[in-house]
Amino acid sequence: MGQKPITFLRQVTALCLYPELLNDNKFPDDAKQKAMRILQACGGNSIGSYSASQGIEIIRQDVAKYIETRDGGIRSNPDDIYLSTGASDSIVTMLKLLVAGQGNARTGVMIPIPQYPLYSAALAELGAVQVNYYLDEENCWALDITELRRALEEARKHCNPKVLCIINPGNPTGQVQSRKCIEDVIRFAAEENLFLMADEVYQDNVYAKGCAFHSFKKVLFEMGPKYSDVVELASFHSTSKGFMGECGFRGGYMEVVNMDPAVKQQLTKLVSVRLCPPVPGQALLDVVVNPPQPGDPSYKEFIAEKQAVLGNLAEKARLTEEILNQAPGIQCNPVQGAMYSFPRIEMPERAIKLAQAEGQAPDMFFCMKLLEETGICVVPGSGFGQREGTHHFRMTILPPTEKLKILLERLKDFHQKFVQEYS
């Protein structure tokens, strides 16, 4: 998508991969120091060795410090940190750990609809029961506790719901949860004895005025021991998103809170089956959680690059909402965070019938026509789940600004033409 890698991240990883470069004076001293510290923590001082299954110890310590700073000093224990092969790996591992039982006792896992398909796919693979709770489109895709309660009560008739998954900021819906909403979810999880899984991979991607990222961990601890001593939580982060966008490195971590020590032992055993997360991904994660500080040689360049990426994404989030909402049959909620919009589209009755005749979901029909006529590729809403009778597509806000503007204008014109043609 044309996003330039952040120089400091690549300098440190390059030095780790090819330590000969430590003698090259093109590299700044702080990048060299960081690389040497990482290498010294690797077996045989090489990034090519296996690491501990839970991840390199100093990197887990750096992650814990990062979490403490992010959460205003609330303690984080490096023993509760598990480094991972991206967030996908730790999410699947956690689900594997939690899913059990047969028949009506089979574990139910509550997931938002629309959802990121990793969840439905992992649940299908594990044979767990997917319990859908619908986000409130009319209210900017907010999470509604009444809807959570409805979904839970329904599910209890045929399975054993034990896990509640939250994606904040949301994919594909781009909403950012309010602090009040997070408190309500935590209270609900405490009352209903649910294990919380908080997917927070977009924690740096918050754009809308008045919105801020609140981690589940921070809110949980600020609610006091009545909750922070009992609610079990796993939260997930990744090097794939944020200002980094380094998804190919496959770096990430999970923090577990209040997990029964015997269960935690099983978790550690489970992650050790796959030996360790890629060490270059761990090194990259270390730089993300422990970046240059004021006064360091690379600080200014690092901050300037980070702010440029995030500022640019914020501008594209605004543009996407603005241009799509100019089209009469498209309704797009504000892209408050993450990297996507999930607009609702009007579909003429005839197009719906034709799609059905072809055995396609109506929004798939729309997306295929769009692709064939304009070359623009978006994903049908049916792939993420949506309320019966509504139609959506998901698009990322990632293309370069000038290209995105053209793309949005073409999409808008195409929809208008599509409605006319099939009305």
Helix (H) or strand (E) holding 357: helix 349-357
Q: Based on the shown chain and the rule CB under 6 A, indicate whether residue 61 belongs to the binding site for ligand PLP.
A: no
Q: Based on the shown chain and the rule CB under 6 A, indicate whether residue 163 belongs to the binding site for ligand PLP.
A: no
Of 31 and 338, nearer to ligand PLP (C-beta) is 338
Instruction: Count other C-beta atoms under 10 Å from residue 200's C-beta.
Output: 23
> Tokens representing 193?
């004895």
| Angle in degrees, CA 373, 378, 382, rounded to 5 | 115
Nearest residue to ligand PLP on Cβ basis: 86
Sign of the four-CA dihedral 79, 82, 83, 87: negative
Choose which of 100, 121, 247, 406 interacts with ligand PLP (CB under 6 A).
247
Residue 94 CB-density burial (10 A; 0-12 exposed, 13-18 middle, 19+ buried) = buried
What is the rounded CA–CA span in Å between residue 333 and residue 139? 9
Q: How far is the CB of 247 from ligand PLP (least distance, A)?
A: 5
Of 252 and 385, nearer to ligand PLP (C-beta) is 252
384 vs 59, 171, 335, 356, CA distance in Å? 34, 9, 17, 19
In 200-311 the beta strands, taken as DSSP E runs, fall at 233-238, 252-257
Q: How far is the CB of 291 from ligand PLP (least distance, A)?
A: 19
| Angle in degrees, CA 6, 319, 344, rounded to 5 | 115
CA dihedral 264→268→269→271, nearest 10 degrees, is 130
Q: How far is the CB of 93 from ligand PLP (least distance, A)?
A: 12
Q: Based on the shown chain and the rule CB under 6 A, indicate whether residue 238 belongs to the binding site for ligand PLP.
A: yes
Choose which of 28, 55, 78, 86 interacts with ligand PLP (CB under 6 A).
86
Give the contact letters, 167-186, x = binds to ligand PLP (CB under 6 A), - = no: x---x---------------
Q: Which of 55, 60, 58, 29 shows the shortest CA–CA distance to 41? A: 58
The SS3 call for residue 337 is strand
Give the contact letters, 193-232, x = binds to ligand PLP (CB under 6 A), - = no: ------x-x-------------------------------
Instruction: Count other C-beta atoms under 10 Å from residue 295's C-beta.
Output: 7
Residues paired with residue 142 on neighbouring β-strands, in sequence order: 136
Of 71 and 199, nearer to ligand PLP (C-beta) is 199
The SS3 call for residue 33 is helix
Q: How far is the CB of 56 from ligand PLP (least distance, A)?
A: 18
Of 67 and 87, nearer to ligand PLP (C-beta) is 87
For residue 249, give every residue at least 6 positions away whose Cβ sits within 8 Å of its Cβ, in sequence order, or none: 13, 239, 278, 280, 281, 284
Choose which of 54, 130, 240, 336 interacts with ligand PLP (CB under 6 A).
240
Give the contact letters, 87-126, x = binds to ligand PLP (CB under 6 A), - = no: xx---------------------------x-x--------
Q: How far is the CB of 132 from ligand PLP (least distance, A)?
A: 16
Q: Which range binds ligand PLP by CB under 6 A, 85-93, 124-132, 255-263, 358-366?
A: 85-93
Which residues in 249-268 contact ligand PLP (CB under 6 A)?
Answer: 252
Of 74 and 118, nearer to ligand PLP (C-beta) is 118
Q: Where are the alpha helices (DSSP H) in 86-224?
A: 86-98, 118-126, 145-156, 179-192, 216-222
Q: Which range binds ligand PLP by CB under 6 A, 81-89, 299-307, 344-352, 412-420?
A: 81-89
Helix (H) or strand (E) holding 160: strand 160-167
Of 74 and 211, nearer to ligand PLP (C-beta) is 211
Q: By rule CB under 6 A, what count of residues binds ligand PLP?
A: 13
Give the contact letters, 324-353, x = binds to ligand PLP (CB under 6 A), - = no: ------------------------------
Q: How far is the CB of 143 from ligand PLP (least distance, A)?
A: 14
| Interacting residue ranges for ligand PLP, rule: CB under 6 A | 86-88, 116, 118, 167, 171, 199, 201, 238, 240, 247, 252
